[in-house]
């Protein structure tokens, strides 16, 4: 059960990223929640199902297919408080615990990964829906070529999770966290592309 988050309805459209003119998000095979394959490199199998959603490609109002860049700003999905910032293999991950009107039904965490936090964003920082919290990281230290993108995980927990328990080696298999499909929480127009689509082949 997802608790009511601070009286806000889920974001619609482009609320997650500070972009103008987005018509719809485009997803290649491997970008969606629980995907078992990669969308980059050899397109082989992932070591475990995808813990979230990878946002990279979108179509604008003129029909052009565009990519996120390292200048793209990431916004908070709901009101909440930053409870942790942890490293990931492309940048940093910011973990935000989102306010609930009903603490008895647990807490929802949004994990924004492969980003560079804005100055002033640190554990304990209060954020409001729409606040800029980071920009997309340039994956210059990745072990393989990969386009800049935002990974978003949404997780529910019956109790508060200490920062030291958020680790990318365990997030997907943690007994304390229940991962949810971000597309069910962050509503946005989207379309799934085929693996042979030129936009996916070029990644």
Average pLDDT of the chain? Answer: 85
Contact 82, 99 (CB under 8 A): no
Read off the pTM. Answer: 0.89
Which contacts qualify for 88-92: CB closer than 8 Å, 24 or more apart?
Answer: 88/113, 88/114, 88/151, 88/168, 89/141, 89/142, 89/143, 89/168, 90/114, 90/137, 90/139, 90/141, 90/142, 90/146, 91/115, 91/116, 91/137, 91/139, 92/116, 92/117, 92/134, 92/137
Band of residue 89 on the pLDDT scale cut at 50, 70, 90: confident
The fold adopted by the segment(s) 22-201 is: Glucose Permease (Domain IIA) (2.70.70)
Cα angle vertex 91, ends 13, 149, to 5°?
Answer: 30
Instruction: Tell me the C-alpha distance between 7 and 144, whole Å.
Output: 42
Contact 139, 90 (CB under 8 A): yes
Q: What is the pLDDT of residues 26-53, one digit of tens each?
A: 999 999 999 999 999 889 999 999 999 9
Domain ranges of the chain: 22-201
* pLDDT at residue 106 greater than cutoff 90: no
């Amino acid at each position: 059960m997802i608790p009511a988050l601070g009286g806000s309805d889920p974001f619609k459209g482009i609320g997650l990223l500070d972009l103008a003119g987005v018509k719809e998000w485009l997803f290649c095979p491997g970008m969606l929640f629980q995907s078992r394959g990669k969308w980059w490199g050899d397109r082989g199998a992932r070591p475990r199902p995808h813990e979230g959603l990878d946002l990279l490609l979108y179509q604008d109002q003129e029909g052009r297919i565009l990519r996120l860049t390292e200048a793209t700003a990431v916004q908070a999905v709901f009101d909440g408080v930053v409870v942790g910032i942890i490293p990931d293999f492309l940048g940093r991950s910011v973990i935000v615990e989102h306010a609930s009107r009903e603490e008895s039904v647990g807490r929802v965490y949004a994990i924004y990964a492969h980003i560079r936090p804005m100055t002033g964003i640190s554990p304990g920082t209060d954020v409001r829906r729409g606040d800029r919290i980071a920009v997309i990281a340039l994956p210059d230290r990745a072990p393989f070529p990969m386009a800049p993108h935002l990974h978003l995980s949404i997780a529910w927990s019956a109790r508060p999770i200490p920062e030291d328990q958020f680790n990318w080696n365990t997030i997907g298999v943690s007994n304390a966290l229940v991962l949810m499909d971000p597309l069910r929480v962050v509503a946005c127009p989207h379309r799934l592309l085929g693996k042979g689509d030129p936009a996916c082949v070029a990644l």
